[in-house]
Amino acid sequence: MIDRKKEKAEAIKLRNKGLSYNEIRKIVPVSKSSLSLWLKSIRLKSKHRKRLYTKQIEILARGPRSQKERREKEIKEIINKAEAEITLPLSPEVMRLMGAALYWAEGTKRGMCEVTNSDPHLILFMVKWFEKIFEITPLQLKARLNIYPQQSDIKIKKFWSELTGIPLSNFGKSFIKPLSKNYKKNTLYYGTIKIEVPKSVNIKHRIFGWISGTLKNVVPSVELVQAKWDFLKVRRPNAVNLH
């Protein structure tokens, strides 16, 4: 049986020592309303009031940072849990469709197969994907960089060569972005790389065939809505001959 008198006496004793309501509740597990009723007539000493005031200010100052840290922890837990749901190595079917989806997002739609990106993880995945799915080794791939004037062309080429296994001799002339007031400094430390797969037009069509097959169930709905909103397509006006 809970002894309320004993709890009240303990709470009063702790309050007289300068503890806050939250600190007291860690020792005496009662509601704040009970503490307010029991302790409302107790006046804290000046030194205790000063300590609690300073602590409150610290809590308020730490508030946004604590929320940020708590959210970062939550996100990390979500990612770790989702990561555990993936089994490696990926099955051939999952590997094939994941690469096709990445190519759909980052690959060229015309000409031969080309993938352009600045993310080393995506680029290495695609290099390994071309090798696994199409037996195209890094030695057969070509590469070109897009970098800023303040970056070292040869050092960045060496970085991507070491990562992907594409020989330095297979790197073409880099595109150096012209100086501009609006360019972002130190954003893409490794620049942007374009991976080229020689003689790969048919491979590209095959990739888009996989994508088309994956989208079969959504194509009718898309086409139906597109037909309804066809008037949104803006036609180019006929050219006017001024001469």
What's the CA gap between 145 and 118, in Å, rounded? 10
- For β-strands 142-147 and 175-176, DSSP reports them as parallel
36 plus 97 within the same structural domain: no
- 141 SS3 class: coil
Q: Is 87 part of a structural domain of the chain?
A: no
98 plus 217 within the same structural domain: yes
What's the CA gap between 207 and 209, in Å, rounded? 5
Q: Mind listing the pLDDT tens digit of every residue in the chain (243 residues)?
A: 568 888 989 999 998 988 888 889 989 988 888 898 998 888 888 888 888 878 777 666 666 667 778 888 899 999 999 999 999 999 999 999 999 999 999 999 999 999 999 999 999 999 999 999 999 999 999 999 999 998 999 999 999 999 999 999 999 999 998 876 665 555 678 999 999 999 999 999 999 999 999 999 999 999 999 999 998 887 776 655 545
110 plus 193 within the same structural domain: yes
Q: Is 86 part of a structural domain of the chain?
A: no
Taking only the tens place, the pLDDT of each residue in 209-219 is 999 999 999 99
75 plus 119 within the same structural domain: no
Q: What is the pLDDT of residue 69?
A: 81
98 plus 58 within the same structural domain: no
Owning domain of residue 41: 4-81
Q: What is the pLDDT of residue 185?
A: 55
What's the CA gap between 29 and 65, in Å, rounded? 28
The tally of domains found in the chain comes to 2
Q: Is 235 part of a structural domain of the chain?
A: no
φ/ψ of residue 27, rounded to 5: -105, -40
CA 182 remoteness from chain centre: 25
Locate 230 and state its tokens.
């066809």
- 156 SS3 class: helix
CA 40 remoteness from chain centre: 51
Question: Residue 164 CB: number of other CB atoms within 10 A?
Answer: 20
101 plus 20 within the same structural domain: no
Q: Is 242 part of a structural domain of the chain?
A: no
- pLDDT over 90 percentage in the chain: 60
205 plus 141 within the same structural domain: yes
Cβ within 8 Å of residue 45, ≥6 positions away: 18
121 plus 14 within the same structural domain: no
106 plus 220 within the same structural domain: yes
Cβ within 8 Å of residue 97, ≥6 positions away: 210, 214
Q: Is 241 part of a structural domain of the chain?
A: no
Tell me the C-alpha to C-alpha distance, in Å, between residue 75 and each of 30, 62, 84: 33, 20, 14
Closest CA to 117 of 129, 135, 132: 129
Residue given tokens 């037909």 in the structure block: 227
As a whole number of Å, the CA-based R_g of the chain is: 32
Closest CA to 145 of 178, 118, 166: 118
Question: What is residue 181's DSSP assignment?
Answer: T
